[in-house]
Structure 1
Amino acid sequence: MTEPTNADGDTRGPLGPAPAPAPAHRRAVAAVLGDLRAVDGALYAAVAATSTPTLDRALRRLSHAADHSKVSLGIAAALALGGVRARRAALVGVGAVAVASASTNLLGKRLVHRARPDREAARVTVDRYVPMPRSASFPSGHTAAAVAFATAVGVVLPEAAVPLGALASAVGYSRVHTGVHYPGDVAAGAVLGIASAAAALAAAAPARVRQPNTFTAW
C-alpha cells in the first residue's frame, strides 16, 4: 500500500510537515514575560482604582514639572551657585541626566516598542491626567532622568542623597499615578538612571585625577 500524495506528488500531506515546537527555554522565557506583564497590569489597575483626591493635583503637577527634567535642572542651577562640591555635583548631575535621556530615547524606546497604558479602560480619574506622550512606554524617561540626577548628585554631595532620592521616587510614582506608565516602565527607568549616573561619575573621575588640585574639596 502506497502513502497518499498531494497534487505535487509529495507525501508530506497538504500542509507540509508540522512546525517544530519552540525550544523549552523560549517557552519558559515567554511564560515568565507573560506573568510579569500580568503583574504589571494588575499593579497599574490597582493604582488607578485607588482613590487619592488629596494627592491627585500634587502628583499631576510634579509629573508635569518633571517634563524635560525641569526640576532636576532647576536644582542643578541652584547647586551651581554653591561651593566647589555643589558645583561639581551639579555638573555631574546634569551629565547623568543627559546620558539617561539619550539612553532612554535613542535606545530603550526604540528597542522595546511598548504601547502606552489605556487610561480610559483602566478608569483613571481625569483629575490625574497629564498629556499622554506619543513615545513608547518602556522605559520611563522621567524616572530615568530623575534617578540619574539623584544618584549622581548624591554620590558627590551625600547630604543631598535622601531628599533627591525621595523626589526621584515621587516622580516615578507620579508617572503611574497619572496613568502614562506601567510600574514596570518606571522600574526599568530607575535601573537605567542608576546606570547612567554610574557612567557620568566614571567619566568625571579621570578629570579629577588629572587635576588633583582643582577638586580637593570634593
Structure 2
Amino acid sequence: MTATREDPEGDGLLARAHRLDVAAYRALTARSSPGLDAALAAASQAANFSRPWIATAAVLALAGGSRGRRAALYGIGSVTVASAVVNLALKPLWPRRRPDRTEVPAGRHVPMPSSTSFPSGHSASAFAFATGVGAVIPAAGALLALPAATVAYSRVHTGVHYPGDVLVGSLTGIVLARATTAAFRRLGL
C-alpha cells in the first residue's frame, strides 16, 4: 500500500504525528460519561453553521452599544475569513480521512461530516469568533474561550475529528482572526 496524506506510513514526521494523533484520539474517546456525552454532542451539533457565534454577535450588536457592534463585526468577520480559508483552501490541500469511530459509544455520535478532517472548521470558527470579539472587548473574548474550547473538544469526543485536527483548527482560527482584526483596524472599522 502506498502512503497517502490520509494515512501516512513509515517513520517520517507525518507518520509519527498521525500515530500520536490516533493514540490521543483513542485515549480521549475511551472515556465515557452519559451526561457529559449528551452535553458535548449537543454542543457539537449546536455549533453547526456558526449558530452560537451568530447569536452572540446579534446580542452584542443589539445590546452592546457601538463597542458591541464593533465586537460583533470583528467576530463575524473573523469567522467568515476562518471558515473560508479552512473549508475552501486548507481542507482540499490536506485530504485527511475522518476517524474510525466504531469504538466511540453510539450515544455520543453526531452526523459524520462529508468534508475531510483536517483542520477542524468548527474549532477554527469558534476560536476565530472569540479572538475577533476579544480584540474589541477583551473580557468578552476571554469568556468566549470556554464555549470555543468546549466546541473544539466536542469534535473529538463525538468521534468526528482527531485532536490534531482540532488543535490546528483552533490555532488557525486565532491567527486568521488576528489578521482579520488588524485589517479591520487599518480600514478604520
Match of 1:97 among 75, 79, 82: 79
Structure 1: which 5+ runs fail to align?
1-28, 209-214
Match of 1:130 among 92, 99, 110: 110
Q: Percent identity over the alignment? A: 52
Q: Does the C-alpha gap of structure 1 residues 89 and 30 become closer, same or farther in structure 2, counting only changes over 3 Å? A: farther
1:116 aligns with 2:80: no
1:107 aligns with 2:89: yes
More displaced, 33-42 or 177-186? 33-42
4+ runs deviating over 3 angstroms: none
Whole-Å separation in 1 of the counterparts to 2:33 and 2:12? 34
Map 1:37-186; keep pairs closer than 5 Å. 37-81=18-62, 82-120=64-102, 123-186=103-166
One-letter identity of the residue aligned with 2:93 = L
Map 1:3-18; keep pairs closer than 5 Å. none
**TM-score under structure 2 length normalisation:** 0.91
Q: How many residues align?
A: 179
One-letter identity of the residue aligned with 1:33 = L
Question: How far did residue 207 of structure 1 move?
Answer: 2.8
Spell out, residue by residue over 1:20-61, the C-alpha distance to the aligned partner (whole angstroms, 9 max, x if none).
xxxxxxxxx962221111110011101121122220111111
1:35 aligns with 2:16: yes
Structure 2: which 5+ runs fail to align?
1-9
Question: How far did residue 191 of structure 1 move?
Answer: 1.4
One-letter identity of the residue aligned with 1:187 = L
Whole-Å separation in 2 of the counterparts to 1:125 and 1:207? 49
- Greater relative contact order: 1 or 2 (C-alpha under 8 angstroms, separation 6 or more)? 2
Whole-Å separation in 1 of the counterparts to 2:68 and 2:29? 39
Spell out, residue by residue over 1:177-216, the C-alpha distance to the aligned partner (whole angstroms, 9 max, x if none).
00000000001101110121012101211232xxxxxx8x
Whole-Å separation in 1 of the counterparts to 2:11 and 2:32? 34
Q: Aligned with 1:156: secondary structure?
A: coil
